[in-house]
Amino acid sequence: MEKKLVWLERDLSGPHHITHRLMSIDWESSDRTPTILIDLVKTKVEIHKGLDFYGLYNRELPNRCWSKDSRYLFLSSPQRSNIKSYVLDTETKILSEIPNDDTSLVVLDVFENFVLLKNTSLLVPSVLMASKFEGDGSGMKLIPITAGSMIEGTEDMQIEHVDYVYQGEDAVRDFNFTYFGPKTGAARSVPLIVMPHGGPHSNYVNMFLLETSLLTLLGYAMIQVNYRGSTGMGSDNVEYLQGRVGDADVKDCVTATAEALKKYPWLDPNRVGLSGGSHGGFLVAHLSGQHPNMYQAVVARNPVINIAAMFTISDIPDCRNALRIDERIRLHHDLCAAVSNESYDKMSSEETAEMVVKMFKCSPIVHAHKVKAPTLMQIGKNDLRVPPSQGKHWYLR
């Protein structure tokens, strides 16, 4: 019988997806005061055996996540460019990483002291793994249940995670990207696709995607960019993007492009494309407008084009981090109070106009007149998060 109740929680306000706490209460204790098992992580902390841990970014825990004695809890979370799995001793609060190579490992199920996991990478589709839990879990041995094999034709491809740190005094200066493509080639012979993720508070991890494998088989290389604002790198990194959208994230994608072209000389700087959806679509539109000579083709899926126009018609009142947290709270309160006819300290028309202008100025539509690259728009008919009018706005610019 389970002896504890655990749950994930986060601070109010701020980005829509950020670092979580893992909380607990003991069913058998008369004291039901919640206990923090894993706290928020601003940058990184050291866990068992001196390993780095960047916080929890889970939307849920496995349905069955307890050891037989209800002392140890098993979970997974994105950590920079991989998903890593852990065993938490809920009595000592010691967190141990389950040993794995440079791939992603996900806990699927726990029965008594047997653990079922999924192992995957950009090169290899998911492989079921099993392990028996003993001790603190740091010595668990993974046994494959299903065979894992590369897709034919990808044997000469490589995965490389690249960390980049800016010089200067900025509060957050690091981001990363993952290169997936040929190991070598003739100079300037391979076209490159730059792929920023959506969210914006999500991240790319080393996980098999049919799309990326097909593109490599067609002769492309790609970089998946975890710009500042991505999850898996501490809450400071996630929060950094607030008030800097359309600037810091764009800068990181441009830096990643330039670094990849320099690091892999077989990439062709005259054949660089962009592909992204939602906030990734926002970024590829921005990049094609702000840097029209760097990118030669664009695919944008349900892109955010004009934040000011989308703010009140999306299914969430999301200003896409165009505003600082204090500005967002002020504007959200103003809108909610107006709808409910509550009395409130109403924002002046000048304040409202300033925020709307700020949302507009950090949107791709401002740079639409500079776009040179042919662009394929992929627009969902009934998308509630990013309404179809956004993509049409770009098409009709």
**Whether residue 229 has pLDDT greater than 80:** yes
- In this structure, are 172 and 93 located in the same domain? no
C-alpha 92/C-alpha 140 separation (Å) is 19
Task: Tell me, yes or no, whether 306 and 370 share the same domain.
Answer: yes
Residue 339 counted as domain residue = no
Q: How far apart are CA 36 and CA 346, in angstroms?
A: 38
Give yes or no for a contact between 78 and 159, defined as CB atoms under 8 angstroms apart: no
For the chain, count helices (H), then strands (E): 8, 19
**pLDDT greater at residue 381 or residue 215:** 215
Strand segments, DSSP code E, in 255-354 are 267-277, 297-301
* 161 falls within a domain: yes
Residue numbers of the domain that contains 36: 4-144
Q: What percent of the chain has pLDDT over 90?
A: 70
pLDDT at position 389, please? Answer: 86
CA gap 301, 393 in Å, rounded:
13
Mark whether 56 and 99 lie in a shared domain: yes
Is 32 contained in some domain?
Answer: yes
Average pLDDT over residues 93-111: 96
Using the predicted structure, report yes or no on whether residue 331 has a pLDDT greater than 70: no
Regarding whether 79 and 139 lie in a shared domain, the answer is: yes
Cα angle value 162/165/168 (rounded, 5°) = 165
User: Residue 179: which of 266, 70, 249, 120 has the closest Cα?
Assistant: 266
pLDDT digits (tens, 9 = 90+) for 287-309: 999 999 999 999 999 999 998 88
In a domain, residue 346? The reply is no
Residues 163 and 291 in one domain: yes
Residue 316 lies in a domain: yes
The rounded distance, in Å, linking the Cα atoms of 78 and 90 is 21
Asked if 380 and 254 sit in the same domain, the reply is: yes
Q: Is 252 exposed, middle or buried (0-12, 13-18, 19+ CB in 10 A)?
A: buried
E-strand ranges in the chain read 4-9, 21-26, 35-38, 45-46, 52-53, 72-79, 82-89, 95-97, 104-111, 114-120, 127-132, 143-144, 157-165, 174-182, 190-196, 221-226, 267-277, 297-301, 375-378
Q: Within this chain, do residues 391 and 248 fall inside the same structural domain, yes or no?
A: yes
Rg for the chain (alpha carbons), in Å? 23
243-256 pLDDT, tens per residue?
A: 899 999 999 999 99
Report the number of distinct structural domains present in the chain. 2
Burial status of residue 381 (CB atoms within 10 A of its CB: 0-12, 13-18, 19 or more): exposed
Are 274 and 200 in a shared domain?
yes
**Statement to judge: residues 32 and 76 lie in one domain:** yes
Question: What average pLDDT does range 343-367 have in this prediction?
Answer: 77
Helix, strand, coil share of the chain (percent; to 5): 25, 30, 50
Q: Is the pTM of this model over 0.85?
A: yes
- What distances in angstroms separate CA 283 from CA 54, 153, 174, 277, one per listed residue? 25, 31, 18, 9
Of 115, 144, 173, the last residue of a domain is 144
Examine residue 333 and state whether it is found in any structural domain, yes or no. no
Is there a single domain that holds both residue 196 and residue 102? Answer: no
In a domain, 351, yes or no: no
Of 144, 166, 188, the last residue of a domain is 144
Stretch 4-13: mean pLDDT: 88
Whether 79 shows a pLDDT value over 90: the answer reads yes
Assign residue 386 the CATH number of its domain. Answer: 3.40.50.1820
Q: pLDDT confidence of 327, banded at 50, 70, 90?
A: low
382 plus 254 within the same structural domain: yes
Contacts (Cβ under 8 Å, ≥6 apart) of 19: 10, 40, 41, 55, 56, 57, 231, 234, 235, 238
Please check whether residue 330 lies inside any domain of the structure.
no
- Top-confidence residue, 392 or 105: 105
Is the same domain home to 169 and 76? no
222 CB burial (10 A radius; 0-12, 13-18, 19+):
buried
Q: Which of 80, 111, 144 is the last residue of a domain?
A: 144
